[in-house]
Amino acid sequence: MAEDEQKVEAEEDAAEKEEEKGEEGEIETERRIKPNNPEFNAQFNYAKNYIKTSKYTLLNFIPYNLFEQFQRLANFYFLCLLVLQLIPVISSLTPVTTAVPLIGVLMVTGIKDAYDDYQRHRSDNQVNRRKSYVLRNGQLAEEMWSKVEVGDVIRMENNQFVAADVLLLSTSEPNGLCYIETSELDGETNLKSKQCLPETEEFGQDVGRIGSFQGEIRCEPPNNQLNKFDGTLYWDNQAHPLDNDKILLRGCILRNTQWCYGVVIFAGKDTKLMMNSGKTKFKRTSIDRLLNFIILGIVFFLLSMCLFCTVACGIWETLTGQHFRIFLPWDSLVPPEPAGGAAVIALLVFFSYAIVLNTVVPISLYVSVEVIRLCQSFLINWDVALCYAPTGVHAKARTTTLNEELGQIEYIFSDKTGTLTQNIMTFNKCSIAGRSFGDIIDPRTGESLEINEYTRSVDLSHNPYHESSFKFYDHALTDALDASDPSCELFFRLLALCHTVMSEDKNGKLEYQAQSPDEAALVSAARNFGFVFLSRTPNSITISAKGTEEMYELLCILDFNNVRKRMSVILKRDGKIRLYCKGADSIIYERLKDGQESLKYHTQEHLNKFAGEGLRTLCLAYKDLDGEYFQNWKARHHEAAISLDRREEKLDAIYEEIEKDLILLGATAIEDKLQDGVPQTIANLAIAGIKIWVLTGDKQETAINIGYSCQLLTDDMLDIFIIDAHTASEVEDQLKKYREEIRNVNATSQPQTNLSVVTFSDEGVGQDTLSDAGEPNGGFALVINGHSLVWALSPKFEQLFLEVASQCKSVICCRVTPLQKALVVDLVKRYKKAVTLAVGDGANDVSMIKTAHIGVGISGQEGLQAVLASDYSVAQFRFLERLLLVHGRWSYYRMCKFLRYFFYKNFAFTLCHFWFAFFVAFSAQTLFDPMFISVYNLFYTSMPVLALGIFEQDVNAVNSIKFPRLYSPGLNNALFNKREFFRSALHGFLTSCVLFFIPFGAYYNGMDQDGRSMADQQTFGSVVATILVIVVTVQICLDTSYWTMFNHITIWGSLIFYFLLQYFYNFVIGGEYVGALAKAMGEPMFYFTSLLTIVVLMLPVMAWRFYWVDVHPTLSDKVRFKQRHDAKMASKRSDHDMLRTPSARRSRRSIRSGYAFAHQEGFGRLITSGKIMRPRNPKPGAMSNGRTSNLRPDANRVSVVAPAPSTVEV
């Protein structure tokens, strides 16, 4: 272990030096790489594969951390103060009074920073120590990722992450194909195909040939463009062009490919994944920034008091002090002449009062803030309600400095795939021949029943190919199939035939490899209902229809693309030629044969219902073709496909010709499963006043569909603006048009309040209703595509875009790159001055997570990149509700209450010295014992306020979620701002007046019962100090709303500890004020003075608070009142009377299209060309370079016509 740690430290140092060289060196314009030639590659000093997100090392921690800490204004101020206290001439206090708290602050903050960085080191090590097979000296060796270098050849295996950006050399699949999942890069889980050069594909897994590969690669320098790569491979006196289809990027996962080899092009920080991750930014809360401003103001206030005391001292010394030099001789440094001597004394007094009054700038404030934040982080980590039971993953606060910012979030930027959704598609419902299937109807009422864990699913176990995970609950569909309903059989036969799915037999089990989860769900549904897709060749498809094997001749695939929004297959069996088609409802309906009005009407009704439930829909149709017509069409299609003039237009016309006069068969409804509680969470966060923007790499239809599912988009909205223009002028026109529409609507609409309130009826305390008046229906939503966002985020249009977007209730950005996500977040940060939160689960979300004020990583299935870059991590999106509305709100509430009290008690303490100055000739004589000054904030008053900052809550967690509007004070910075600070400072100012002058009046000519004078400075100082401790303790009792055992121990314990420490210090150690307090407490005057002072100070506070709570109660006051007095009534009330969050799948009718199909073109061409196929029965020994031969028994298949981009003809 020790050796490993030394290696890691050495790697860190090397990485830092490398980074420095990179920053100092010239900009790279071209990259040159020779595989298997480390000597050649080493001359360019390319970045190694080691990644580093930590800040410190063992060597630089102390200087670097101290440098950062002294950048805080308060820490630097106290360092200067400590230097002044080391000068005896001007210091009336020992340096210990400042040194102890300053060292304490630096140590506590340093320990916290070290802990945070240690967690980052652990996370880095987890990634850097992943294993990969690297070709070294002609042999495969297992190496850590951090040891991989540019030019290395690495072997990757199925389901493994790609270690770096590599050029694909050879794969286990036919024709050099391999399949990857890029969810960490763009959030998509669709399989994407990559293909190596034919020249290197011959290497197979022959390590000898790969190890002797000595070509030269010249390519573009590192950049963040995920979809672009330009390069050339020079080998055997030939130049081979390289593009993005031959590159595997770091963060991709190899799927359905047994192995592949690649040469590392970019490593570590140069990989496209890391270059899209953005730089780690130092994050501070808005309260931190406000505190810096306030501390600066307090310093000026302190200097003003010092200046006043300086002038007053100079005047007193000039008029009076010079006559007392025999009794109070001047210091030897002071000139003897009156004017000069008074000036020097006044100057020295300035620094003396700067030391005496320094506690008005509380150094212990920062210690307390750090302790409170650390404890709040532990409370988040320990919250069992934030634990995801299926995986046992807890929420984790990965930083300890941003907790209260969680209570001030105004904008949430969320990824879609894996964050809002589970990325699991399930066949939910369908419409066949005008009849809807999937709902369970109550025979008594005719209403649909809610499906829950107790609902009995259809038994499909008689089907040998059924999947145990597949659930369907409507028995009517299986009954229809059992009765051999022709429409139902044709419906599922279409689903089993019209697709581009590949089948594979793994250990006797049939498995599918689908390009998209949508297709997998549809083919899986057909399989479970008895229509099983078995296999395919380039010119045939074989299925099992209810146990009977059927083989179809594949004549043509009209592949899917985003313009066509449909795909078709043309099949032949028993002499019959039939076209099967599936696609978007609007596209299919335009191409239907006349005379199907009744069927179209009923199917449209079902489509509207499915869309209203947030399901993704496709329409199915078919058409029988005449053999002679098809041959004629095929010939004309061939002419169009090989045409060099207007090929696309001609092909479109050919497609339109054959894909018309279709017969409608029905529609499918797939549920893109949301994570549990997503709609409720979004609804509650919206009620709280938080705006949610979805930034996703998915296409527009998919994103819109999920928007409806999770209630970001509703049918009640006035309009949904879609920006999809490709040029700057078009984007500008669309934005201006939508801005004008919004202005017109706003000009004619009535102003509405946006506040939900709680009212109590006369029937009994606690009858309450969450008013709906504050949540107006309607509003606008904005959907913008990535190519349009490029122009919208340009400096010329960004404010126009933000003006339109900020007036919409929901914003969805589709097809965005990771960098665009960060730019959107940054735009809102810069212009709206709002606190932002970004949440995601993949590496494609890292950049926006780092850019936002707070980044939240979902511990999902897309790796750890988002979690490693985040400030907080949770297992599910729904936990964001509790994280913000409970922990965030509590943290903000506690911190604000803590700060208000802290400034109050420090002003009350420090200003007593200022009043005392008027009676000691402004000589910087202290009122209190120096020991009391040192430990007042450290011991006497620190623990109660810490308990307040850690455990205080106005309402409990349940009501915090039930009443989301309780979150609004944080959005408005209502609990701690400049006004609240001045109120606290004024409260402290008045308290110090009363604290000083009532005891002063009592003890001015006071005598004890024996006639001895009580008017000495030590007795007076001890009395004021004791009353001060009692008063601030009583004040915190009034401030505490939630009493715990810790509050009782700290509050009453602090009072007891004060008297015990006073006794110990004065009598055991022998302090300067020995006996003063004991003497005062032996007289009734002390108790009368204390009681009078406490009553005078506390009575107005109590009256003021009673008035506001009784006459002008806040929502928090009302909920707290309900919580305290009406627990019994609350338990009887139905939850839905309180919550206004819609059901995730509540049935409603929608007139929008529910079409969304996450599919891409190109797979049809691979299927029919045969490139994607494996041989069914390879001959023994038919192997080449360690890989199965590509020879197939169907070598006499029909020749392939030159394919168009979206159509393949066989």
Active site residues: 415
Q: CA 862, 867, 869 angle in degrees (round to 5)?
A: 120
Instruction: Give the number of other CB atoms < 10 A from CB of residue 206.
Output: 16
User: How many whole angstroms separate alpha carbon 671 and alpha carbon 419?
Assistant: 16
781 within 8 A of 721, measured Cβ to Cβ: yes
913 within 8 A of 968, measured Cβ to Cβ: no
Q: Could you tell me the CA-to-CA distances from 1065 to 92, 898, 1028 in Å, in that order?
A: 20, 29, 19
| Residue ranges with strand state E in 214-362 | 216-219, 231-235, 238-242, 247-248, 253-255, 259-266
User: How many whole angstroms separate alpha carbon 413 and alpha carbon 480?
Assistant: 46
Burial of 940 from C-beta contacts in 10 A (0-12 / 13-18 / 19+):
buried
659 within 8 A of 559, measured Cβ to Cβ: no
User: How many whole angstroms separate alpha carbon 895 and alpha carbon 632?
Assistant: 79
Instruction: Give the single-character DSSP code of 299.
Output: H
Hey, which residues does 47 pair with through a beta bridge? none
559: phi then psi, degrees, rounded to nearest 5:
-70, 160
Rounded to 10 degrees, what is the CA torsion of 950, 956, 958, 963? -110
Of 645, 667, 661, 636, the C-alpha closest to 556 is: 636
695 within 8 A of 821, measured Cβ to Cβ: yes
Sign of the dihedral through C-alpha 383, 386, 392, 393: negative
Structure-token match 């589970």, residue found: 422
813: phi then psi, degrees, rounded to nearest 5:
-105, 120
931: CB partners within 8 A, 6+ apart: 1065, 1071
Instruction: Give the number of other CB atoms < 10 A from CB of residue 1132.
Output: 7
250 within 8 A of 165, measured Cβ to Cβ: yes
| Residue ranges with strand state E in 932-1006 | none
418 within 8 A of 187, measured Cβ to Cβ: yes
1127: CB partners within 8 A, 6+ apart: none
User: How many whole angstroms separate alpha carbon 920 and alpha carbon 927?
Assistant: 10
Kind plus residue range of the DSSP H or E element containing 1207: strand 1207-1209
Burial of 1120 from C-beta contacts in 10 A (0-12 / 13-18 / 19+):
buried
Burial of 424 from C-beta contacts in 10 A (0-12 / 13-18 / 19+):
middle
User: How many whole angstroms separate alpha carbon 665 and alpha carbon 581?
Assistant: 10
User: How many whole angstroms separate alpha carbon 579 and alpha carbon 570?
Assistant: 4
Instruction: Give the number of other CB atoms < 10 A from CB of residue 976.
Output: 26
Instruction: Give the single-character DSSP code of 439.
Output: P
Tell me how far apart the terminal alpha carbons of the chain are, to the nearest angstrom: 61
User: How many whole angstroms separate alpha carbon 647 and alpha carbon 1192?
Assistant: 32
Which is it for strands 1207-1209 and 548-558: parallel, antiparallel or unpaired? antiparallel
Hey, which residues does 181 pair with through a beta bridge? 191, 253
Q: Which amino acid type is present at position 211? A: G
> Which tokens in the block code for residue 764?
């009994």
Structure-token match 């009782």, residue found: 1048
